[in-house]
Structure 1
Amino acid sequence: MRIFGYQAIVLFLNVWFVNSFMFRDDCLVTTWTQWSSSGQYTESRTRRIMRVPSGGSSLCPPLSETRETDVDCQVSQWSEWGGNFGFGQQIRTRNVTQNPMGAGNQCPDLVENRYIDTKPTVVETAKNVEQYFIRAFSSNSRKRRQTNQGSVRDLLLIMDSSGSIGQSNFQKANKEIGTLIGLLCPENPFNKENGQYQYNQAAMLTFSSTVEQNFDFNDHATTEDIQGAISKAMYNGGGTNTAEAFMQAIEMFQSSKGARKSSEVKPEVLILTDGQSNNRHETLKAVEELRKVADVYGLMTGGFTKRGKDELTAYVSAPINEHLFYVESYTELEALVRLLSDMKKNEGEKWCAPFNVG
């Protein structure tokens, strides 16, 4: 009986082996076809079954594959060159009409800036300052611009106090900037009500070789107090450490300095300077970080090489034609502010857009 049992087991294993391995047909498929378009931004390939599996063989592999195609970025034609601004500049723009996909070529520059032979007149610059900075509803907040609604701001002033400016011009600049911020909207732009700013707040830094934080956003209760604090800022002389000024500017937009949430107000920076920084690379790196926190406006004065113009243009937020203003001298700065004051007087009640602070 033991021999019969052993023989039966051997016979069973032989039959199982023959059926399972010698007579099993695995799935057999063709090679893949070439990739071909199967949609706007996809392509696919296929293969066919040449032999259906049998005898318990594994299932056939996938018979189709789809992948995204590599799509190059596509852009529109350049716009016409825009109006004169800044140091005597024009820009033109183009838009992305197709975003890149996969390993497609990335998008080229969408803004081109060029210098022309003629700088804007003081009157032209005044109109740009009025349209893009002073008049709150014409600020860079597109939504508010479309609805003619005033923008509530936290405005940080950065004043150059380096040796190239000189004591007299520094005092002139502070006086004119104090007058300039008084032209903001509403009529009393920085007044507190019940201990809280209802509309705008202002803070100030001065910089030379070092940086001084002159006052925080919540230090003064009226527009007149802020103007007085600006006029009392001390002149330091020395170098132009703009990089450190920008780094400390980022720190100023903190609640500990009285800054409000960016969801509630429009954080802004206005820098007045007459020269290139002492550390270009560090400065451009720092201002790139600052622009993530606030819209940066520049009011530049003095004479510059193309390299200097390029650096100062790189300070401001986009679009640069709405953030970069230039006057050749402090006499022109006085004329600019006087023109703006006259424009406000002529506009009367039409000067300010309504505010929604609810």
Structure 2
Amino acid sequence: MKSVCCGFCIVVFSTAVCDGFLFDVRADCLVSTWSTWTPVPGLGMHIRERGVLRYDNQGGTPCPPDDELRQVKTDYNPTTSRHANIQATARSMSANFIRGVANPQNPQATGQKRDLLIILDSSGSIGSSNFYKTKQNLAELLGMLCPDPDPFAQLYQHAALIDFAGSTNEIFDFNKYQHTSTLKNGILAVPYLGGITCTTKAFTVALNMFSKWKGMRTQSDVVQEVLILTDGQSNCGGAVATAAKELQKKATVFTLLIGSFTQRGVNEIASYVTTPVPKHLFAVKQLQDLDSLIAELRKQRSIQKCMPFNLP
């Protein structure tokens, strides 16, 4: 049988093959082997993951649910100090999100510009005074991004922010601020909402933020990222894992988790972030530990220098 596809013809009995895609062929889902167990900094837990190598087709064995592609185990060690956990979180956050790590195989590499969307949990479990403290820490954290000394100058990083509880509010888009100092002031002015935690609604609004109408840049040297700050699971329904997967198609998703959770809770939180999870999920056990985390990140900033940025 002759089949015409993708601009050329290939005869493979009765199966058309186009650039590696099979049509009308039964195929079982194929998943990778499990990764090694890797600690999630600050949580006292290890996680391992596997990915889908081939999706099922034409009645083949279906792929397992998303939560079966990830396993979490508690690894609580009472001899590990609170300070050691905060140090581990700071090292991971600095290397994977704040400062980045230079690649010795490519010493000429330049720093990466980003459009960063902040999703800020403003639900009632936080409380108004703790919410204000979280905003202060967030403002200082963003000031540690590269390049020094003004990471959110016009040609470098851009930020947008939404806060959420029972409802979701767009506070500012990527066009709003062109200096780190004014961005910090904008963060401190974010209103506290209170109420339930509707994470699915927040992710739906977040998807719409990644558009040119909201100031998102489309140049090849700009990446899109999300930073979620939350202290709890969604508690108002909705398919939060499905919404998170759609958001991950738009941007690399990081989460700073504040609090202690069950394994089931961590599985949900882990579904928010880009894989591998240990490089994108950071945690402190309680809100008061944010001050210590910021202090550790300052130390990392003095150690890890920014890569140069290639500007026209």
* TM-score range for the pair, normalised by the shorter chain length: 0.7 to 0.9
Question: Is 1:117–2:75 an aligned residue pair?
Answer: yes
Q: How many residues align?
A: 282
Q: TM-score, normalised by structure 1?
A: 0.69
**Letter paired with 2:116:** L
Q: Which residue pairs with 1:4 in the alignment?
A: none
| 3-state SS of paired residue (1:246) | helix
Q: Which residue pairs with 1:89 in the alignment?
A: 45
Structure-2 separation of matches of 1:277 and 1:302: 14
The gaps in structure 2 that reach 5 residues or longer are 1-11, 14-23, 78-83
**Letter paired with 2:37:** W
* Deviation of the 1:97 alpha carbon: 8.9
Question: Is 1:352–2:309 an aligned residue pair?
Answer: no
Question: Is 1:200–2:157 an aligned residue pair?
Answer: yes
CA contact (8 A) 2:31 2:51 kept: yes
* Deviation of the 1:132 alpha carbon: 0.7
Structure-2 separation of matches of 1:274 and 1:244: 16
Structure-1 separation of matches of 2:181 and 2:200: 30
Q: What does 1:260-271 correspond to in 2, within 5 Å? A: 260-261=217-218, 263-271=220-228
* Deviation of the 1:283 alpha carbon: 2.2
Q: What does 1:9-28 correspond to in 2, within 5 Å? A: none
Structure-1 separation of matches of 2:60 and 2:168: 46
Structure-1 separation of matches of 2:230 and 2:237: 14
Write 1 or 2 for the structure with the bigger share of helix: 1
Report the CA distance shift for 1:146/1:292 in structure 2 as closer, same or farther (over 3 A).
Answer: farther
Once the two structures are superposed, residues 176-214 of structure 1 have per-residue CA deviations (whole angstroms, 9 ceiling, x without a partner) of 0110011000001101xxxxx211101111111111111
Q: What does 1:55-204 correspond to in 2, within 5 Å? A: 78-85=34-41, 87-92=43-48, 112-118=70-76, 121-137=85-101, 148-187=109-148, 188-191=150-153, 197-204=154-161
Report the CA distance shift for 1:146/1:239 in structure 2 as closer, same or farther (over 3 A).
Answer: farther
RMSD, matched Cα: 3.2
* Deviation of the 1:134 alpha carbon: 0.6
Residue 321 of structure 1, aligned match among 278, 301, 306: 278
The gaps in structure 1 that reach 5 residues or longer are 1-41, 44-67, 192-196
* Deviation of the 1:356 alpha carbon: 2.5
**Letter paired with 1:354:** P
Question: Is 1:211–2:168 an aligned residue pair?
Answer: yes
Structure-1 separation of matches of 2:200 and 2:117: 16
Q: Which residue pairs with 1:27 in the alignment?
A: none
Structure-2 separation of matches of 1:289 and 1:75: 20
Structure-2 separation of matches of 1:341 and 1:163: 30
Report the CA distance shift for 1:101/1:305 in structure 2 as closer, same or farther (over 3 A).
Answer: closer
Once the two structures are superposed, residues 229-263 of structure 1 have per-residue CA deviations (whole angstroms, 9 ceiling, x without a partner) of 10111111111121111111111111111111163
| 3-state SS of paired residue (2:137) | helix
Which of 1 and 2 has greater Rg? Answer: 1
Report the CA distance shift for 1:71/1:305 in structure 2 as closer, same or farther (over 3 A).
Answer: closer
CA contact (8 A) 1:91 1:114 kept: yes
Structure of greater relative contact order (alpha carbons < 8 Å, 6+ residues apart): 2
| 3-state SS of paired residue (2:161) | strand
**Letter paired with 2:243:** A
Moved more, 79-88 or 281-290: 79-88
* Deviation of the 1:307 alpha carbon: 2.6
Question: Is 1:310–2:271 an aligned residue pair?
Answer: no
Report the CA distance shift for 1:244/1:122 in structure 2 as closer, same or farther (over 3 A).
Answer: same
Moved more, 271-280 or 321-330: 271-280
